Amino acid sequence: MISLRIDGALFNYRVAGVAVLNGKVLLHKTPSDNFWTLPGGRCELFEFSKDTLQREMQEETGMDAKAGEMLWVSENFFLYNGDKYHEIGFYFDMQISDLPGQADFLGSEGQDELLFHWHDVTDLHSIRIYPEFLADALAKNPLEKGHFSSPFRNLDAADPISS
């Protein structure tokens, strides 16, 4: 996985999928996290980003997903569980072929449980979602392509932190 520890910080190359259906977007979180994010994961060395999304969805949910058009690129800096992260994220339109419906379901990342939930795109400002640009970007219909950068955030707290 492309996650490098450099001078006490971590660099991540993450790929995520945007599945919007009936005005709702698929998000996930671990039981211990107090925020939601789009499903996806870290790219492996010499793996194309679209392939990363398909692999991660298969590993985490057992579902077949297809990565479509790239929507967003994000440069995101945050503190999570005591580690500073510098994350480059690629966000793709995602279609899930064997989607059983829009009920909540569980997945897993290794030994960790993941809760998947379909959130109404008009309600995203009432929840904690990261990176923060997602609340506005997902509310647009049609979705607009873009490049976003986020200042340092502490994902375990509501206020920005200093670098």
Report how far residue 41's alpha carbon sits from residue 117's, in angstroms, rounded to the nearest whole number: 17
For residue 158, the model assigns a pLDDT of 54
Q: Over range 38-57, report the average pLDDT.
A: 97
- Average pLDDT score over the chain: 92
Q: What is the pLDDT of residue 156?
A: 75
What class, spelled out in words, does domain 3-154 have in CATH? alpha beta
The 3-class SS string of the chain reads CCEEEECCEEEEEEEEEECEECCEEEEEECCCCCCEECCEEECCCCCCHHHHHHHHHHHHHCCCEEEEEEEEEEEEEEEECCEEEEEEEEEEEEEECCCCCCCCEEEEECCEEEEEEEEEHHHHHHCCECCCHHHHHHHCCCCCCEEEEEEEEECCCCCECCC
Q: What percent of the chain lies above the pLDDT cut of 90?
A: 83
pLDDT-based confidence at residue 108 (cuts at 50, 70, 90) = very high
Domain boundaries along the sequence of the chain: 3-154
Residue with the two structure tokens 């077949």 = 64
Kindly report, residue by residue over 67-102, the tens digit of the pLDDT.
999 999 999 999 998 899 999 999 999 999 888 789
By percentage, how much of the chain surpasses pLDDT 70?
A: 96
Q: pTM of the predicted model, to two decimals?
A: 0.90
